[in-house]
Chain A
């Protein structure tokens, strides 16, 4: 017996000769916010589509809420809320009708729907906009409505596929604080994102994926510490002898042309040395971030 909300083992999915997901295994515990990170085409969306039964998997096992996905899919889908990547609100309907029609797909009773719609409109600060057509909403409002719609069935697992892509900073922060509230209430969340600050803020644990496989798994801070140490040294406009020195001493670093990022572990000594001997200016010791780790693991070349 396991109490995990999601348990995947060796999930695989291919499209012709292209392998989108190549043996992905992870589990998500109740109340956890779990992140799937990776460059475009890493297999994040395919993975979560398999989770909510949209995409059939080629092989591997998948259990949600301890139930086998092949037999109990309707029970499972009753307990999941999904914010898909595309904005697929119903443009023929108003804000309120979007929620009510969606509630009907879950066969909720009229009284339940009335109560939940009122609560969700309040929760997502959409009160007063009930009668607006979806076409009249801004990007931020639409995203909030998508979130409200995903919560209409009072799910035990919320799946978010790039929830804040394309939003302005105000809307992103608004959405994040809503998600943090949900987390505080004990909702289990699975999230894909391209924003490292988002992942670092929301995720208890995450995986970084590339080419259909999981590269690393763990808590954000712990992953950074394990792979990069506490800090990195960033050098702007580095000189040639610094480059030579790094290669000679075999220090791990990333060369970006106009910039060097040196993975120095706990690099106070190295930093002092660099400032004293190589580059008086443009040398910076800063905390290592998830973005440093992400780029270190997945490389810097463009994916698409």
Chain B
């Protein structure tokens, strides 16, 4: 087992990122507020009329209500993944922020853990904003839907760690295109976001169920619609296991990259 060198001091790294985020909140708030408006209008109103209702867990669901939780899950994935790829890479490589931190009593594990926690927190902030908009459409079933917040943190951690694993290995910032086109984009389209996974051919369903977004979508949908399911519990278990694997991988990779 890998020895983890962390103390509460890692919150200082998290606070540094929050401080910078608060300076740019007016811009940072735009995507999570406008995206649901655009998506729900385009897909819900435009496409929804043609699709009608879908069967979910044995009972019918309107198309707009079906894709709204998918959108929340996509936002969680993207906020966390982009934060711990592009943004972390800029801090690490171009701004040398990590080098400066490592000349203080902070450990490398604290710096990286703080970054990952920040990535997950950013996913939660985005989820709060998005939920506000989606609620205006009356698409969230409260109070059950409040559990979307811890779900966003759990899913955020999963994609934050995955992003940090990429940051630990990419030679240049352009290389992030690879995981984005091979990992993020396929999940965006095929993880039960805009149509049920069961519409896919059998082999593709197997692939889709191996991917983390599929489970996060399942979890968000169950919580948003207020319909507890075995699938949602399985999704929590899946994401927990993903974190247990990906987080140490991210730490190990970043130690290898930064300690020289």
Please give me the residue from chain B that is nearest to A76 by CB atom. B105
Tell which of A74, A90, A153 touches B100, judged by Cβ atoms closer than 8 Å: A90
Asked if B19 contacts A88 (CB within 8 A), the reply is: no
From B91-99, B160-168, B177-185, B208-216, the one touching the partner chain is B91-99
Tell which of B12, B96, B99 touches A105, judged by Cβ atoms closer than 8 Å: B12
Q: How far is the CA of A93 from the CA of B100 in the complex (A)?
A: 14
Q: How far is the CA of A80 from the CA of B102 in the complex (A)?
A: 12
User: Within 8 Å CB of B106, what residues of A?
Assistant: 105
User: Within 8 Å CB of B15, what residues of A?
Assistant: 101, 104
B257 within 8 A of A: no
Q: A88-B96, A88-B97 are in contact. Are A102 and B104 (CB under 8 A)?
A: yes
User: Within 8 Å CB of A106, what residues of B?
Assistant: 104-105
Please give me the residue from chain A that is nearest to B259 by CB atom. A56
Q: A88-B99, A90-B100, A107-B9 are in contact. Are A77 and B105 (CB under 8 A)?
A: yes
Cβ proximity bits B65-102 to A, threshold 8 Å, 1 near / 0 not:
00000000000000000000000000000011101111
Asked if B9 contacts A92 (CB within 8 A), the reply is: no
Asked if A82 contacts B12 (CB within 8 A), the reply is: no
A18 within 8 A of B: no
Q: How far is the CA of A105 from the CA of B95 in the complex (A)?
A: 17
A217 within 8 A of B: no
Tell which of A86, A104, A107 touches B16, judged by Cβ atoms closer than 8 Å: A104
Asked if A90 contacts B99 (CB within 8 A), the reply is: no
User: Within 8 Å CB of B97, what residues of A?
Assistant: 88, 90
B260 within 8 A of A: yes
Asked if B19 contacts A105 (CB within 8 A), the reply is: no
B103 within 8 A of A: yes
Asked if B19 contacts A97 (CB within 8 A), the reply is: yes
Asked if B104 contacts A84 (CB within 8 A), the reply is: no
Asked if B259 contacts A55 (CB within 8 A), the reply is: yes
Q: How far is the CA of A97 from the CA of B20 in the complex (A)?
A: 10
Tell which of A77, A88, A153 touches B95, judged by Cβ atoms closer than 8 Å: A88
User: Within 8 Å CB of A80, what residues of B?
Assistant: 103
User: Within 8 Å CB of B259, what residues of A?
Assistant: 54-56
Interface residue SS majority, chain A: loop
Q: A84-B99, A91-B95 are in contact. Are A104 and B105 (CB under 8 A)?
A: no
- Residue among A53, A78, A82, A104 with most chain B CB within 10 A: A104
CB proximity to B under 8 Å, residues A172-209: none
Number of interface residues of B (CB under 8 A): 20
Cβ proximity bits A89-101 to B, threshold 8 Å, 1 near / 0 not:
1111100010001
Please give me the residue from chain B that is nearest to A149 by CB atom. B100
Interface magnitude class on chain A: 20 to 34
Q: A84-B103, A101-B16, A106-B104 are in contact. Are A90 and B95 (CB under 8 A)?
A: yes
User: Within 8 Å CB of B103, what residues of A?
Assistant: 52, 54, 77, 80, 82, 84
Q: How far is the CA of A89 from the CA of B15 in the complex (A)?
A: 17
User: Within 8 Å CB of A82, what residues of B?
Assistant: 103
B23 within 8 A of A: yes
Q: How far is the CA of A113 from the CA of B160 in the complex (A)?
A: 32
Asked if B96 contacts A86 (CB within 8 A), the reply is: yes
Asked if B96 contacts A74 (CB within 8 A), the reply is: no
Tell which of A53, A55, A56, A93 touches B19, judged by Cβ atoms closer than 8 Å: A93
Q: A55-B259, A92-B23, A104-B15 are in contact. Are A74 and B99 (CB under 8 A)?
A: no
CB proximity to B under 8 Å, residues A133-167: 153
Asked if B99 contacts A55 (CB within 8 A), the reply is: no
Q: How far is the CA of A84 from the CA of B95 in the complex (A)?
A: 13
In the complex, what's the smallest C-beta–C-beta distance from A6 to chain B, in angstroms?
A: 16
- Residue among B9, B96, B104 with most chain A CB within 10 A: B104
User: Within 8 Å CB of B19, what residues of A?
Assistant: 93, 97, 101
Q: How far is the CA of A196 from the CA of B147 in the complex (A)?
A: 65
Q: How far is the CA of A105 from the CA of B111 in the complex (A)?
A: 10
Asked if A54 contacts B100 (CB within 8 A), the reply is: no
Q: How far is the CA of A102 from the CA of B96 in the complex (A)?
A: 14
Asked if A86 contacts B104 (CB within 8 A), the reply is: no
User: Within 8 Å CB of B104, what residues of A?
Assistant: 77, 102, 105-106, 153
User: Within 8 Å CB of A56, what residues of B?
Assistant: 259
User: Within 8 Å CB of A78, what residues of B?
Assistant: 105
Q: How far is the CA of A229 from the CA of B101 in the complex (A)?
A: 45
Cβ proximity bits A10-24 to B, threshold 8 Å, 1 near / 0 not:
000001000000000
User: Within 8 Å CB of A84, what residues of B?
Assistant: 96, 99-100, 103
Q: How far is the CA of A87 from the CA of B96 in the complex (A)?
A: 8
User: Within 8 Å CB of A54, what residues of B?
Assistant: 99, 102-103, 259
User: Within 8 Å CB of B12, what residues of A?
Assistant: 101, 104-105, 107
- Residue among B15, B23, B102 with most chain A CB within 10 A: B102
Please give me the residue from chain A that is nearest to B20 by CB atom. A92
5 CB < 8 A contacts A-B: A54-B102, A88-B95, A101-B15, A105-B101, A105-B105
Q: Give 6 new A-B contacts, CB below 8 A, not counting A78-B105, A90-B100, A107-B12.
A: A88-B99, A92-B20, A101-B12, A104-B16, A105-B9, A105-B12
Top 5 A-B pairs ranked by shortest CB distance?
A: A88-B96, A82-B103, A105-B104, A88-B100, A92-B20
